Structures are given as structure tokens and as C-alpha cells.
Structure 1
């Protein structure tokens, strides 16, 4: 537990100096990284890796889109994997539906952050980076759209 204090303090500092979208990306990455670090230290067992991520493209940018087939869902953490992927699917649908309106509400940002934390707790041995990158991409696109809307 003591090992988590320094990363949490550093994360708090970064959040205080970053834009909202950046802060959210740092928050997601920091929380998941801290949980993963603590879990690895407590449990050195090898576990199955997550399925390979597909790639999505939007406005010339690529981002991972990891979706786990039902038959590959782990027994432990299946609910959390499904919840995370559901949140990501909502963002993806909003991304493709309209190229100018916001992708999410503050409540949806909180929901995706909560889903990421819950998944990291349930599946600490999985490679969560594709989920993190996809969520970060959506949050950055949302911030870009909001900035464009306010500058008109």
C-alpha cells in the first residue's frame, strides 16, 4: 500500500496541471497502472492474456478496438470485461453518428473511468492497454469537439 502513495501523489500533481481531457487520460492510465502494479506485486502468477485488439480508424488516426468474444470471456471478471466493452461501444457509436457533437456527458466519462478501474481490479493480469488507448482516444476526440464548438 505504501508503494501506491507516490504514484497517487504524482497523479494528483499531473491532474492539477493538465487540461480536462488530458487529466482524464492521466487518471485512467494512472489508476489502472497503480492497480496493475499492486496486483503484480501481490500475485506473480501467470494468467491468460487478453485477445488481440482490432484497429479502428477515424479522421486518419488509428486506435485499438478490443472486443472479447463471449466464448473467450474469463470466468472471473466477465461482467467487468463486458461492462468496459459496452462503455467503449457507446463512445464508438457516438463517434460515428456525428462528427461535431460531443461524444459523452460528464456522467459517461465517469462511467468509463469506473468501468476501467473495475476491469483492472477483476483482471489485473490482462493487458489493458488497448482499452486504455481506445478510451483515451475517445476522450481526446470529445475534448477536441467541445473546444471546436466553443470557439465558433
Structure 2
């Protein structure tokens, strides 16, 4: 638990002092690190019953993992729904326009919080598909922001 709190504190410090592009990379790395720490803390348990598909955008593929409502676990259902809702918002923005930014700073914070909360709720779940999808959206957002500043 201390490692998770320290990781979040360090990430917050980095985000508050870094440039916008660097902050996005730091956020993606922080999300991945926080989830890895949380998943190492728990024992291997039952996986989440999900539907994972592969999506493609601009020649890049990324996983999209969604849990049917009937398959949501009792423990962590709220957190699974929260992360999937955030990821769906990013995906909708991705497809709506190929040049607009995907997220606001508040939305980046919300996805980070949702990932950490899910990792805390059920640390034995494999969250790699969620991590990869979130990282893809954040990288695409950074690419779009860089393109608009040129």
C-alpha cells in the first residue's frame, strides 16, 4: 500500500512540474507502474470474465476489454465500470475527429484514478489490456497536441 501511495505522490509531483508532453508520458508510465505494484501485492486469483477485442487506429492495434454487465464481479464491479466508462469516452473522442485532443487534464486525472481504484479493489486481476488501451489513448492525445502546436 505504501508503494502505491508513494508512486501516486511521485507521479503527482512530476505532473505538477513537467511540461505538457512530458506530463502525458509520465502519466502513462505512472499508471502502468501503479497497477504493476498493486498487482504484485495480491495473489493470483480468478480473472475477470471479459470480452477483449483488438481495435486498429492509424495502423496501430490496441486491446479493448469490456465486461458484460451480467459478468461483473461482486467485488470491484463499480471500479470495472468506472475504468471501462473512461476508456469508452476516449474511444468515442478518438473516432469522432482525427485532429482534436482526446482528453482534458481532468480526464487524464480521472483515468489515472479509475485505474488505481480498480487495482486496489482487486489486485489479482490482470489489468494489462486496460493499461495498454489507456496508454494508447494518452499517446494519441500527445501526438495530436504536438501536431496542433506546429
One fold, TM greater than 0.5?
yes
- Say whether the 8 Å CA contact 2:83–2:111 is kept in structure 1: yes
Q: Which residue of 1 aligns with 2:120?
A: 121
Structure 1 residues without counterparts, runs of 5 or longer = none
Distance 1:137 1:30 in 2: 16
> Alpha-carbon deviations, 1:20-64, whole Å to 9, x = none?
2221111100111111122x2xxx363234425211110010000
Q: Which of the numbers 29, 32, 42 marks the counterpart of 2:32?
A: 29
- Say whether the 8 Å CA contact 2:55–2:61 is kept in structure 1: yes
Distance 2:125 2:44 in 1: 12
Counterpart check, 1:94 vs 2:97: no
Instruction: Give RMSD over aligned pairs.
Output: 2.3
Identify which range, 21-30 or 47-56, moves more after superposition. 47-56
Structure label with greater radius of gyration: 1
Structure 2 residues without counterparts, runs of 5 or longer = none
TM-score normalised over the length of structure 1 = 0.84
Structure 1 segments, 4+ long, off by >6 Å, are none
